[in-house]
Amino acid sequence: MGFLDRFFKEPSWGVHPDDHKRPAADAPLRILPTPERVYMPLSQHVGGAARPIVVVGQKVLKGQLLADAQGNISAPIHAPVSGTVFSIGEVTAPHASGLPFRAITIESDGQDRWIDTELVADPFALAPEDIARKAAAAGVVGLGGATFPSAVKFALGKRLKVETLIVNGGECEPYLSSDDRIMRDFADQVVDGVRLVMHAIGAKEALVGIEDNKPEAIAAMRKAAASFSEVKICPVPTRYPMGSDKQLIQTLTGKEVPSNARAAEVGVLVHNVSTCAAVHKAVRLGQPLVERIVTLNGGAIATPGNIYAPLGTLVTDLLAFVGLKGEPARLILGGPMMGTPLAHDRIPLVKGASGILAFNAAEAATPEAGPCIRCGTCADACPMGLLPMEMAAHIRVEDFEGAEGYALGDCISCGCCAYVCPSHIPLVQYFSYAKGELMAAERVKLRTDATKRLAEARSARIEREKQEKAEAAARRKAEKDAAAAAKAAAAKAPAKDSGQAQGETV
Amino acid sequence: MLVSVGSLSLMGLALGSMLGAASRYLAVEENPLEAEIQAMLPGSQCGQCGYVGCAQAAAALAKGEAQVTLCPPGGKATAEALAAKLGIKVDLSGVVDSGPQIADVTEEICIGCSRCLKVCPTDAIIGAAKQVHNVIREACTGCSSCVNVCPTEALSLMPIPVTLQHWVWPQPASSAA
Ligand code: SF4
Ligand code: SF4
Ligand code: SF4
Ligand code: SF4
């Protein structure tokens, strides 16, 4: 590691898995020929699903708005190819459950015609809010996998007066190299995007953290950032999970983000390198987010590498393009440590998908789990300083509150603990299970509170209606009595004022 | 003018403090256990337990006059929680629990009689006379009150459908940890 040691000492947390990044990372970027059909999901981001504004049969151009953002935290969806809206229906979500979600299917006309885009010559003359607005309109979300709408984060950074922008080029997950590739091939776009994000949040400096196993990316980024002293390229030690926000912030600034707090509260904001490139395209070229670089890697793939593909492309089409050596034993969206297992390949590429891995039988083999020998290796590896064996022991007997007592909420599901466990205990699955159950319990509580309020509102309404009815009845009775009295009076003194009395009773 | 303003505010003050004192000295003794139990019940006031509503059911539970398995909409989960709260051991293996359920209208046979709408304790049914009715899933507690009044059996209970937002990871198959 040489001179770097002077700046960063080797972290005590995490693991160092075999990174399997090359040769895929070194293969030149390939462009996927436009697929016949793309399936653009309505929720590819954290927050509310987008609301379709197109109808079946409508002609759309590449980059045209398909579905609008809905709610404060949401992102719009644009057409990744030009063609015709074929249907608005359901496709399998890139999610471990294999459940469906809504998507707009577009049949490509093969011409890839763009909508008219608005070029901005000097985006730095724009107000910071305008940068955020353009990024929001372009549907830019965190491309590192978190898929949080970027503009919302900009607003947060601006409000909390964030001084330092951390740019995440860590890409610590084995097998993945899409961020590496974007830094090598589009370093100028990335650096421009970094400066635009700084402008949007009012940051004074940007620290670009890149793991030192990517020397080509570091060199390319240094060259692109040479004339901008505020953008500093900082190689960081290769250590999983360096690409996790909290770990990268700590390595670069020495600041620790407290549990339950956001990074912005310690004066930093983290954005991924690919996100910055998307901001560049959105602001300077007016192009919405409709394509991305995705790594196709794994033992079952004939020509592993990075592909530039329209969003909504089926994994089937991507796999056909790179070729398969044999039937993959396991398909994963994302990296092997934190990725999502896919049930089959008829699943669309989404904004947050940095890689598709097709593993052969040898790579996919999971050793049989044994009993915990309480060796403590997992606790040493945990980057969050947790005690995985204690949490798992509580979860095994369904004591979720007990696990929470060991700060289960701080677990980032990085998988270090399961990776090092000599007994091959599926620790992360225990934690995902427990987090899901706790969340479900919370939802049930909220639901019960809400239905309770509804039931109370109904009782109150029924009570009120009863009272109103009684009042109305009393009023009618009084009126009747008055009318009867008037009639009696009129009968006593006939002719003269009977008309008036009748008028009163109406 | 001044006199009337002054006398009115004086009256307000005097009456207010009387009310305050009354609420302190004449307060109805509320059993804290009862309140806690009531918070654990679904709150749909459906009456399937045989009591007028959840508050009465909670009172009976607190006095030990009712079984923890009294509440059908609450199901096994509520029974377990109640047993834990009251420190009772119960054998729940006999309790058939179909899991949380909600009502669903079969649109083809709904005649729009509006009977269900009137009995739903949480106003979870929308519709109007001679219109097809529907259930707001988020508001339905699965109390089955509506199922019992529907003349055409258009209403039935079904398990809450699993969606992407509701799905949770299953427990790992191996029990080693
Ligand atoms: S590493 Fe595995 S065997 Fe060792 S203490 Fe942790 S869970 Fe137990
Ligand atoms: S407990 Fe959570 S944060 Fe710690 S190593 Fe395991 S998965 Fe990572
Ligand atoms: S059955 Fe349950 S929800 Fe219905 S009134 Fe009784 S306690 Fe409340
Ligand atoms: S819709 Fe039916 S089952 Fe659901 S809360 Fe209302 S009455 Fe009960």
pLDDT at residue B166 greater than cutoff 50: yes
Q: CA of A119: how far to CAs of A66, A193, A200, A276, A282, in Å?
A: 21, 15, 18, 17, 9
pLDDT tens digits for range A148-198: 999 999 999 999 999 999 999 999 999 999 999 999 999 999 999 999 999
Q: What is the pLDDT of residue A4?
A: 43
| B161–chain A Cβ distance below 8 A for any pair | no
Find out whether the beta carbon of A417 lies less than 6 Å from any atom of ligand 2. Answer: yes
Scanning the structure block, which residue is given the tokens 């979600």?
A101
pLDDT at residue B106 greater than cutoff 70: yes
Question: CB under 8 Å, gap of 24 or more: what pairs does B88-95 form?
Answer: B95/B69
Closest CA to A207 of A156, A262, A269: A269
User: CA neighbours within 13 Å on the CB side: how many for B34?
Assistant: 13
Distance B71 CA to ligand 3 centre (A): 5
Q: What is the pLDDT of residue B172?
A: 86
| A87–chain B Cβ distance below 8 A for any pair | no
The rounded distance, in Å, linking the Cα atoms of A503 and A252 is 88
Confidence of residue A5 (pLDDT cuts 50, 70, 90): very low
Q: Is residue A330 within a helix (H) or strand (E), and if so which, with residue range?
A: strand A330-333
How many other CB atoms sit within 10 Å of the CB of residue A320? 13
Closest CA to A173 of A25, A389, A368: A25
The rounded distance, in Å, linking the Cα atoms of A132 and A153 is 9
Distance A336 CA to ligand 3 centre (A): 47
Q: Whose CA is nearest to atom 2 of ligand 2?
A: A411
Q: Is residue A77 within a helix (H) or strand (E), and if so which, with residue range?
A: strand A77-78
Find out whether the beta carbon of B100 lies less than 6 Å from any atom of ligand 3. Answer: no
Q: What proportions of chain A, in percent to the nearest 5, are helix, strand and coil?
A: 40, 20, 40
| A460–chain B Cβ distance below 8 A for any pair | no
pLDDT tens digits for range A305-338: 999 999 999 999 999 999 999 999 999 999 999 9
Confidence of residue A460 (pLDDT cuts 50, 70, 90): very high
| B172–chain A Cβ distance below 8 A for any pair | yes
Confidence of residue A3 (pLDDT cuts 50, 70, 90): very low
Find out whether the beta carbon of A439 lies less than 6 Å from any atom of ligand 1. Answer: no
pLDDT at residue A241 greater than cutoff 70: yes
User: CA neighbours within 13 Å on the CB side: how many for A7?
Assistant: 14
Q: What is the pLDDT of residue B176?
A: 46
Q: What is the pLDDT of residue A503?
A: 45
Q: What is the pLDDT of residue A410?
A: 93
Closest CA to A145 of A252, A343, A294, A326: A294
Looking at per-residue pLDDT, the higher value among A28 and B32 belongs to: A28
**Sequence ranges of the domains in chain A:** 377-435
Q: What is the pLDDT of residue A499?
A: 47
pLDDT tens digits for range A364-412: 998 899 999 999 999 999 999 999 999 999 999 989 999 999 999 999 9
Interface test with A, best of B143, B162, B167, B175 (most A CBs within 10 A): B167
Q: What is the pLDDT of residue B49?
A: 83
The mean pLDDT of chain A is 92
In chain A, pLDDT over 70 holds for what percent of residues?
Answer: 95
User: What residues of chain B, 95 to 124, have a C-beta less than 8 Å from chain A?
Assistant: 100, 121-124
Confidence of residue B99 (pLDDT cuts 50, 70, 90): confident
